[in-house]
């Protein structure tokens, strides 16, 4: 196939599902009728009594009613697309529509029922059958499965289901998902297993599978690489990628009353879908030079499929019942617009990221390595045999000798070594040490031999494994049943093609009819002309009314959309205001500025990030510790260190601000207050005591306890025994104290003459 540079439109088909049990039980009216022949969907408005409002008619590439079979859809609509993927085009199939209208049914269908299998399993069968029938071509098929939920990408085949992946862009290959796993598959069963694993992971982590799938987009990607000898004698690789997309439900997400997380969720869920709508509008508009692909993950990822170099089919799913009429009309309008997108499909020939090329090169390299090994082995074998003088006419074996020969060789070598070992064991003439040494040597040789053999086997196995992943066809092409089946398929395709052509012709006839009506007419009388023209006028008037109604509907839909957006904007503005308020009032200006200075927008990830705290701009290394901080917990100035040593000032106690000096306990006793004695009594006492002194009592006992100096006592002054009575300094200063040493010669008191009153 030659490179096709011409543009083609996105193909849009509509499928209406049957009424379900509930709808039938509730006796809902069916408002959708499907004209398969003409490719038209006719929707009546259930509210107004039909007279005033005409039914709405939409025309599509093809339409399918409730009786449509999965295989019909596949043969007519999807098979040509998958075929072109096998030729190296990129292809995309979208399923769009309200939740519960059959998107998943169309994409996956009922897994165990061959009749009701959807596009994805049917395409598996198609791809691998194609490969098995091919000749002189090598294929490599791999599959990935991902999900976009709330603008986060999850790899459904990864073990780590928590991890979120990022989108990256390369100038030569475009947008891709970084670190997305892809599995090379060799058969229908293998690729089915991949799909099942993905589906299981999809339902894990979501409490309500239906709700989750209606809010997330699932994309199954099959990449088919094909290598073929070109006319120039070189191998050429073509890579086709098939994206099978089960979109989130298109119904309006209710945002009323949602706050915080819930609001964020609601605004994010349909972000990808509304971005998809905007991209479609921009593409169809023709005037806008900017296509907002970057607004969402989905549109970025599928950029190629919308106005790019891929072939695209969009399946719009609708429900027939009256209560769904609004959503049905929205879906039909949406897909009606998508019809006008123009793509420029192009074959991807010899792309840089073809995995097949790497595989082929690796296999060639391994084979060469294997060959080298076997060459070495043979040479060694010969040398050994020659050295031992054994059978020397067994010479050069061809390089093409196969595994059998190989096995023989190893066995032979092993047996020989074994025999030699036995001989050593049995040879009693050898000294024990010598024998041990020889045995060890032999054992080592055997070990080496074994290891070499294992390495060789491993290499061979690796080559085999890699080769088995490369699929080649042409093996059972003469198979009779296969042939019959092929004929059948061919016939089915022919029929599908015929149907398609018929429909196109019908549509053309329909539109020409109106144009040529006038040209063909020749009027025999004025009255006839009036009649015919009146009829035509009526027809045109009806058309005008239909268009007017359509305009009105679209305006209404726009107003709704706008109100929705305005509401979202209001909520978000309110949220923003609250955050501003918090920042203004609770975050110091200095801190705020620091954060503002560190924050930057990462274009790659489309996310705000923080620069690391460092003053060395270009070097991403943290600042080193200042010299003054060596030995301290934190940097200290010289002054501070000196001050810390000199005085106990809190100001510089950065390291240890707790003072650990001992604190005296609070006092629990009182000062001693001696009893106040009346002067008279005191004087009497004084006198009495002095008399005792004069009576010359031997008080040597007292003196010895008071002090060594006898002169103090000899001075004749009063020395009362101090022991037993606490004396404080205070007491001595009390002027009233009768015991004060200053008091003896006081003139205030009469000198008493003894205890006995006169």
For Mg ion, the binding residues (CB under 5 A) are: 103-104, 213
How far apart are the C-alpha atoms of 13 and 103, rounded to whole Å? 12
Closer residue to ligand ADP in complex, CB, 325/363: 325
Contact partner, 17, from ligand ADP, Mg ion, none, Cβ < 5-8 Å per class = ligand ADP
> Would you count residue 94 as binding ligand ADP (CB under 6 A)?
no
Name the one range near ligand ADP by CB under 6 A: 15-23, 415-423, 574-582, 595-603. Answer: 15-23
Closer residue to Mg ion in complex, CB, 34/107: 107
Q: Are strands 90-97 and 235-246 parallel, antiparallel or unpaired?
A: parallel
Per-residue binding letters, 167-206, with ligand ADP (x by CB under 6 A): ----------------------------------------
Among 39, 97, 240, 277, binds ligand ADP (CB under 6 A): 97
Residue recorded with tokens 């390089």: 399
Structure tokens at 615: 């003053």
How far apart are CB 301 and ligand ADP at their closest, in Å?
Answer: 20
Among 105, 145, 149, 293, binds ligand ADP (CB under 6 A): 105
Closer residue to Mg ion in complex, CB, 104/360: 104
> Would you count residue 18 as binding ligand ADP (CB under 6 A)?
yes
Closer residue to ligand ADP in complex, CB, 77/101: 101
Cβ proximity of 509 and 45 under 8 Å: no
Binders of ligand ADP in range 441-470 (CB under 6 A): none
> Would you count residue 103 as binding ligand ADP (CB under 6 A)?
yes
Closer residue to ligand ADP in complex, CB, 104/138: 104
> Would you count residue 79 as binding ligand ADP (CB under 6 A)?
no
Indicate the SS3 state at residue 321.
strand
How far apart are CB 31 and ligand ADP at their closest, in Å?
Answer: 17
Among 62, 84, 101, 303, binds ligand ADP (CB under 6 A): 101
Closer residue to ligand ADP in complex, CB, 94/652: 94
Q: Is the dihedral of CA 322, 101, 309, 38 positive or negative?
A: negative
Name the one range near ligand ADP by CB under 6 A: 54-62, 102-110, 267-275, 694-702. Answer: 102-110
Strand runs labelled E in 69-136:
90-97
Closer residue to ligand ADP in complex, CB, 214/274: 214
Among 17, 117, 142, 154, binds ligand ADP (CB under 6 A): 17
Structure tokens at 576: 């923003």
Name the one range near ligand ADP by CB under 6 A: 14-22, 40-48, 392-400, 717-725. Answer: 14-22
What are the distances in angstroms from CA 217 to CA 145, 155, 191, 220?
Answer: 11, 12, 20, 10
378-390 exposure pattern, b = at least 16 Cβ within 10 A, e = fewer:
beeeeeebeeeee
> Would you count residue 214 as binding ligand ADP (CB under 6 A)?
yes
Binders of ligand ADP in range 20-49 (CB under 6 A): 20
How far apart are CB 123 and ligand ADP at their closest, in Å?
Answer: 17
Closer residue to ligand ADP in complex, CB, 102/345: 102
Question: What DSSP line would sit under 448-507, residue for residue?
Answer: HHHHHHHHHHHHHHHHHHHHHHSEE--SSTT-HHHHHHHHHHHHHHHHHHHHHHHHHHHH
Residue nearest to ligand ADP as judged by C-beta position: 102
Cβ proximity of 746 and 683 under 8 Å: no
Closer residue to ligand ADP in complex, CB, 55/100: 100
How far apart are the C-alpha atoms of 97 and 327, rounded to whole Å? 8
DSSP 724: T
Closer residue to ligand ADP in complex, CB, 99/360: 99
Among 40, 45, 99, 312, binds ligand ADP (CB under 6 A): 99
> Would you count residue 100 as binding ligand ADP (CB under 6 A)?
yes
Q: How far is CA 578 from the centre of its chain?
A: 29
Binders of ligand ADP in range 275-334 (CB under 6 A): 317
Structure tokens at 166: 């990022």
Closer residue to ligand ADP in complex, CB, 217/377: 217
716-725 exposure pattern, b = at least 16 Cβ within 10 A, e = fewer:
eeebeeeeee
Q: Are strands 310-318 and 11-16 parallel, antiparallel or unpaired?
A: parallel
Residue recorded with tokens 């089919």: 313
Q: How many residues bind ligand ADP (CB under 6 A)?
A: 14
What are the distances in angstroms from CA 546 to CA 55, 57, 284, 572, 609?
Answer: 8, 9, 22, 39, 53
How far apart are the C-alpha atoms of 133 and 490, rounded to whole Å? 14
Name the one range near ligand ADP by CB under 6 A: 99-107, 160-168, 434-442, 501-509. Answer: 99-107
> Would you count residue 111 as binding ligand ADP (CB under 6 A)?
no
Contact partner, 97, from ligand ADP, Mg ion, none, Cβ < 5-8 Å per class = ligand ADP
Closer residue to Mg ion in complex, CB, 196/569: 196
Closer residue to ligand ADP in complex, CB, 216/309: 216
Binders of ligand ADP in range 219-258 (CB under 6 A): 249
First CA to last CA distance, the chain: 159
How far apart are CB 328 and Mg ion at their closest, in Å?
Answer: 17
Name the one range near ligand ADP by CB under 6 A: 17-25, 417-425, 454-462, 615-623. Answer: 17-25
Query: Rounded to the nearest 10 degrees, how much is the dihedral formed by the CA atoms of 131, 133, 136, 138?
Result: 10
Report the largest interatomic distance among the alpha carbons of the chain, rounded to a whole angstrom. 183
φ, ψ of residue 7 to 5 degrees: the values are -95, 155
How far apart are CB 104 and Mg ion at their closest, in Å?
Answer: 3
Closer residue to ligand ADP in complex, CB, 116/690: 116
Binders of ligand ADP in range 556-585 (CB under 6 A): none
Closer residue to ligand ADP in complex, CB, 105/124: 105
What are the distances in angstroms from CA 745 to CA 496, 689, 740?
Answer: 149, 14, 11
CB atoms within 10 A of CB 732: 12
Closer residue to ligand ADP in complex, CB, 22/615: 22
> Would you count residue 335 as binding ligand ADP (CB under 6 A)?
no
Residue nearest to Mg ion as judged by C-beta position: 104
Structure tokens at 360: 């082929």
How far apart are the C-alpha atoms of 447 and 511, rounded to whole Å? 85
How far apart are the C-alpha atoms of 531 and 526, rounded to whole Å? 9
How large is the C-alpha radius of gyration of the chain? 51
How far apart are CB 325 and ligand ADP at their closest, in Å?
Answer: 17
How far apart are CB 533 and Mg ion at their closest, in Å?
Answer: 52
How far apart are CB 336 and ligand ADP at their closest, in Å?
Answer: 19
Among 62, 84, 104, 309, binds ligand ADP (CB under 6 A): 104
The closest alpha carbon to 364, from 496, 463, 261, belongs to: 463
Q: Is the dihedral of CA 740, 742, 744, 748 positive or negative?
A: negative
Q: Contact residues for ligand ADP (CB under 6 A)?
A: 17-18, 20, 97, 99-105, 214, 249, 317
């Amino acid at each position: 196939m030659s490179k096709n540079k011409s543009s083609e439109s996105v193909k849009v088909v509509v499928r209406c599902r049957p009424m379900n049990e509930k709808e039938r039980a509730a006796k809902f009216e069916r408002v959708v009728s499907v004209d398969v022949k003409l490719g038209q969907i006719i929707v009546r408005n259930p509210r107004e009594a039909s007279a005033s409002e005409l039914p709405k008619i939409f025309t599509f590439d093809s339409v399918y009613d409730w009786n449509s079979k999965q295989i019909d859809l596949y043969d007519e609509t999807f098979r040509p697309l998958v075929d072109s993927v096998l030729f190296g085009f990129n292809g995309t199939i979208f399923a769009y529509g309200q939740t519960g209208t059959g998107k998943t049914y169309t994409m996956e269908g009922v897994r165990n029922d061959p009749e009701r299998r959807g596009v994805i399993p049917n395409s598996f069968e198609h791809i691998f059958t194609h490969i098995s029938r091919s000749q002189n071509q090598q294929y490599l098929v791999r599959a990935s499965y991902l999900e976009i939920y709330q603008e986060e990408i999850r790899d459904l085949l990864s073990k780590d289901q928590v991890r979120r992946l990022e989108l990256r862009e390369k100038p030569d290959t475009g947008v891709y998902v970084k670190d997305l796993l892809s599995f090379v598959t060799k058969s229908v069963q293998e690729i089915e297993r991949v799909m099942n694993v993905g589906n299981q992971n999809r339902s894990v982590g979501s409490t309500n599978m239906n709700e989750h799938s209606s809010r997330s987009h699932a994309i199954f990607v099959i990449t088919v690489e094909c290598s073929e000898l070109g006319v120039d004698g070189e191998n050429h690789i073509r890579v086709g990628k098939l994206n099978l997309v089960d979109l989130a439900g298109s119904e309006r997400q209710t945002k009323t009353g949602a706050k915080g997380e819930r609001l964020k969720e609601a605004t994010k869920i349909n972000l990808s879908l509304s971005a998809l709508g905007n991209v479609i509008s921009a593409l169809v508009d023709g005037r806008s030079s900017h296509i907002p692909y970057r607004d969402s993950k989905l549109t970025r990822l599928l950029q190629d499929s919308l106005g790019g170099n891929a072939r695209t089919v969009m399946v719009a799913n609708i429900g027939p019942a009256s209560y769904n009429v609004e959503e049905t009309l929205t879906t039909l309008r949406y897909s009606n617009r998508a019809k006008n997108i123009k793509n420029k499909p192009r074959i991807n020939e010899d792309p840089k990221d073809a995995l097949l090329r790497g595989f082929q090169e690796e296999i060639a390299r391994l084979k060469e390595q294997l060959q080298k090994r076997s060459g070495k082995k043979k040479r060694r074998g010969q040398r050994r045999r020659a050295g031992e003088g054994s059978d020397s006419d067994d010479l050069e074996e061809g390089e093409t000798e196969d595994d059998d020969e190989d096995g023989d060789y190893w066995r032979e070598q092993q047996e020989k070594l074994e025999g030699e070992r036995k001989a050593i064991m049995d040879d009693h003439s050898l000294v024990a040490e010598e024998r041990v040494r020889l045995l060890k040597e032999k054992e080592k040789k055997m070990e080496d031999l074994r290891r070499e053999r294992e390495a060789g086997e491993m290499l061979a196995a690796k080559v085999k494994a890699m080769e088995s992943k490369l699929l080649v066809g042409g093996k059972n092409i003469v198979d009779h049943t296969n042939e019959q089946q092929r004929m059948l398929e061919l016939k089915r395709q022919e029929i599908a093609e015929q149907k398609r052509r018929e429909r196109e012709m019908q549509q053309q006839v329909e539109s020409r009819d109106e144009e040529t009506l006038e040209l063909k007419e020749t009027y025999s009388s004025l009255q006839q002309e009036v009649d015919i023209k009146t009829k035509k006028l009526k027809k045109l008037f009806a058309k005008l009314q239909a268009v007017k109604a359509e305009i009105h509907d679209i305006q209404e839909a726009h107003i709704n959309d706008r109100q929705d957006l305005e509401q979202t904007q209001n909520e978000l503005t309110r949220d923003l205001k609250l955050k501003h308020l918090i920042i203004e009032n609770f975050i110091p200006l200095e801190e705020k500025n620091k954060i503002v200075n560190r924050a930057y927008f990462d274009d790659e990830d489309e996310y705000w990030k923080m620069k690391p705290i460092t003053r060395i701009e270009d070097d991403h290394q943290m600042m080193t510790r200042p010299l003054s901080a060596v030995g301290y917990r934190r940097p200290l100035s010289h002054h501070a260190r000196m001050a810390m040593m000199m005085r106990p000032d809190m100001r510089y106690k950065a390291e240890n601000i707790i003072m650990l000096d001992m604190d005296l306990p609070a006092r629990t006793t009182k000062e001693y207050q001696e009893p106040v004695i009346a002067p008279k009594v005191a004087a009497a006492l004084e006198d009495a005591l002095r008399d005792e002194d004069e009576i010359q009592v031997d008080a040597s006992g007292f003196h010895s306890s008071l002090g060594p100096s006898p002169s103090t006592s000899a001075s004749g002054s009063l020395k009362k025994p101090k022991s037993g009575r606490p004396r404080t300094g205070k007491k001595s200063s009390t002027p009233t104290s009768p015991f004060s040493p200053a008091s003896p010669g006081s003139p205030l008191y009469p000198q008493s003459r003894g205890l006995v009153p006169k």
